Amino acid sequence: MKNTLMLKVDPHNPDPTKIDIAAEFIRKGGLVAFPTETVYGLGADALNPEAILALFEAKKRPLDNPPIIHIADRSEVCRLVEEVPKKAERLMDLFWPGPLTLIFKRSNTVPSVTVAGLDTVAIRMPKHKVALALIRQSCCPIAAPSANLAGKPSPTTAQHVFEDLNGRIDVILDGGSANIGVESTVVDLSVDPPMVLRPGGTSFEALRRVFEDISLHPFVQAEAELTLGNTRSPGMKHKHYAPKAEVILVEGNVPAIIAKVKDLTEFYKLKGVKVGILATDETQTCYTADIVRSLGSRFNMELVARSLFRLLREVDAENVDVIIAEGVPSEGLGLAVTNRLRKASGYHIIRAG
Ligand code: TXA
Ligand code: MG
């Protein structure tokens, strides 16, 4: 068991001496959790195969699901990829640094284990000052999946990382809460037209304004487990965002959702089952259950995205048996929220109205 060091850093003006302590661990093949604008990442030197193996081990992550490589300077892309398509240049101009990950054909510089044996590589330039400082001071690209145990909700605070990974990693840089709260959008540019493999912090609408023909992989809006022979994104087939409790997602129009959530709550109460409800500002007063929490207003998907993973963890920590969650509109960040809620429910979706 490792002695995990927790270091508080100012998210806007990180202390270089603290960053350097963390960077030293990365350079020596260690593991450092750090804040990004989306969620916390667990970083290791992307070009050091042993460090990457330790990263998979610490997260208990299946070896066939590759992490995203984080860079601080656009010139880094060139040595990691075979070619930079024109369309990628455009997206990097518009959305980097920020919550957008691009998939390229990879170069031989990237060790095979870092990309799980694929011929492509996922790259993103985060916007968070702590993440950028860590990458720069480590002097290497940093591979970083979300800093949670595999299958759990992604961490949006250092405390979440601590709960999952204390004793398994070297350092946690605590830079406060992640601002966006859902992971980056993953766009595949090794195909043309480009395809969104995972919805996230960059909205599909914003990408559509740049490339009219960009498409959504069927998995993005899947309402059931898809059996994809040739999954474009390996992460698609693994269990995700799952709390201990059973999650039931109720989708449909708002009055029908309210009626269905009430019915389900009554049903479970009669059975003596402890119920938590993830409602919204507009609906939360309609319910009486063991725990009722609001994700935020149905008219503000930014706020809902920010609180989603935190609330999944918080409600789960109350040891409820069942979490009933309301579906939300799929516009803007709502597409990512819907995708995460569906996965968290293991596609246990009830359609109301
Ligand atoms: O916001 C984020 O993206 C966060 C922060 C830490 O940057 N990172 C994150 O990483 O969410 P992770 O490993 O939890 O998710 C990476 C996703 C997975 O679904 C993985 O399958 C996919 O990106 N991915 C990685 N490499 C890929 C590749 N070469 N082709 C297709 N999908 C890939
Ligand atoms: Mg993850």
**Cβ of residue 59 lying under 6 Å from some atom of ligand 1:** no
Identify which ligand lies nearest to the alpha carbon of 126: 1
Tell me the CA–centroid distance for residue 111 and ligand 1, in Å: 16
Tell me the CA–centroid distance for residue 82 and ligand 1, in Å: 19
Atom of ligand 1 nearest to the CA of 124: 7
Per-residue pLDDT at 353: 82
Per-residue pLDDT at 237: 61
Atom of ligand 1 nearest to the CA of 148: 14
Atom of ligand 1 nearest to the CA of 144: 6
Tell me the CA–centroid distance for residue 271 and ligand 1, in Å: 40
**Model's pTM, two decimal places?**
0.96
Closest residue by Cα to atom 20, ligand 1, is 235
**Cβ of residue 66 lying under 6 Å from some atom of ligand 1:** yes
Atom of ligand 1 nearest to the CA of 106: 29
Per-residue pLDDT at 239: 67
What is the SS3 assignment for 70? strand
Per-residue pLDDT at 284: 98
Helices (H) and strands (E) in the chain, counts: 10, 16
pLDDT tens for each residue of the chain, 353 residues long: 999 999 999 999 999 999 999 999 999 999 999 999 999 999 999 999 999 999 999 999 999 999 999 999 999 999 999 999 999 999 999 999 999 999 999 999 999 999 999 999 999 999 999 999 999 999 999 999 999 999 999 999 999 999 999 999 999 999 999 999 999 999 999 899 999 999 999 999 999 999 999 999 988 988 887 765 555 566 666 667 888 899 999 999 999 999 999 999 999 999 999 999 999 999 999 999 999 999 999 999 999 999 999 999 999 999 999 999 999 999 999 999 999 999 999 999 999 98
Per-residue pLDDT at 227: 63
**Cβ of residue 121 lying under 6 Å from some atom of ligand 1:** yes
**Cβ of residue 183 lying under 6 Å from some atom of ligand 1:** yes
Question: CA 115 to CA 52: how far, in whole Å?
Answer: 10
What are the residues whose beta carbons fall under 8 Å from the beta carbon of 198, sequence distance 6 or more? 101, 183, 184, 185, 186, 220, 233, 235, 236, 336, 339
Tell me the CA–centroid distance for residue 145 and ligand 2, in Å: 6
Tell me the CA–centroid distance for residue 242 and ligand 2, in Å: 11
End-to-end CA distance of the chain: 51
Element (H, E) at 123: strand 120-124
Closest residue by Cα to atom 13, ligand 1, is 145
* Of 132, 126, 127, nearest in space to 16 by CA: 132
Tell me the CA–centroid distance for residue 99 and ligand 2, in Å: 14
**Cβ of residue 122 lying under 6 Å from some atom of ligand 1:** yes
